[in-house]
Amino acid sequence: MDITKIPQIKHTNSNNFFLLAGPCAIEGEDMAIRIAETVVSITDKLQIPYVFKGSFKKANRSRIDSFTGIGDEKALKILKKVSDTFGVPTVTDIHEISDAAMAAEYVDVLQIPAFLVRQTDLVVAAAETGKVVNLKKGQFMSPESMKHAVTKVTETGNEQAIITDRGTMFGYQDMIVDFRGIPTMKQYAPVVLDVTHSLQQPNQSSGVTGGRPALIGTMSRAGIAAGVDGLFMETHFDPANAKSDGANMLDLSLLEKLLTDLTAIRTTINSL
């Protein structure tokens, strides 16, 4: 599918990659607006189609005392305010069937978490809202198996599916990305590379997931070279104090240089 056929993704330059980026979780209105304003300014300058990302709740946490959210409706209203303020679409993940219709009232893209992407009823509920459905590839799934997840979306009559690769488990505490899967999955839907979660180091004894953010640039450049349609990354102005996934986030101050370099790589590849 041509990504330009997905109407919620604003295409200032359809020859460039598109970007899903923002904080892991919505921690409050001020932080969301601050991050969105910075990313919109950069992506407008570089003509990168942009979708603001933020989880309205974090249902999948290692420890029971981990941050899960500020309240569902409160967070969803913040996502809507970001969209209204900056004129960009938004994406959030859902975890239960009942989340689909609720979140669809506020956002443009519904994301199915990697651990839940085989849950047929959840995927179908997301698809039936008519929203774009971003399917995170399970860390345990082959690229070929994502064809069936996409089919669950399209069989509802919704052709707006995206696949996001967030890495594959390598042992118990590391992730790898198999770039051979990118062209395979592009046969089924536009493909995004999640360059922050694919650098996670899960299952730490502390119950707090680790990460390798120093490699975000390397992973991003490799993804663009491999031909992904878009990139997904979590970013924060203070990753060390972010309430979720700070260990693998990109510091917001580093975003403009990275996206400038990636746009140059994409331009070169397009000229070949």
- Summarize pLDDT for 67-103 with one digit per residue, the tens: 777 999 999 999 999 999 999 999 999 999 999 999 9
**Res 205 pLDDT > 80:** no
Question: Which region holds residue 23: left if phi is over 0, alpha if psi is between -120 and 50, else beta?
Answer: beta
Instruction: Extract the tokens encoding 1.
Output: 């599918």
Q: For position 173, what pLDDT does the model report?
A: 84
pLDDT at 90: 96
The domain covering 3-271 belongs, at the CATH homologous superfamily level, to Aldolase class I (3.20.20.70)
Q: What residues does each domain of the chain span?
A: 3-271
Using the predicted structure, report yes or no on whether residue 164 has a pLDDT greater than 90: yes
Residue 5: the pLDDT is 56
User: What pLDDT shows up at residue 243?
Assistant: 85
- Tokens linked to 23: 């904080």
Residues 6+ apart with CB under 8 A from 208: 62, 63, 66, 247
pLDDT of the residue at 118: 97
d(CA 241, CA 258): 22
Residue 28 has pLDDT above 90, yes or no: yes
Residues 6+ apart with CB under 8 A from 40: 50, 52, 86, 88
Instruction: Please give the C-alpha separations between residue 16 and each of 19, 49, 176, 270, in angstroms, as whole numbers.
Output: 10, 8, 25, 9
User: CB count, 10 Å around CB of 98?
Assistant: 10
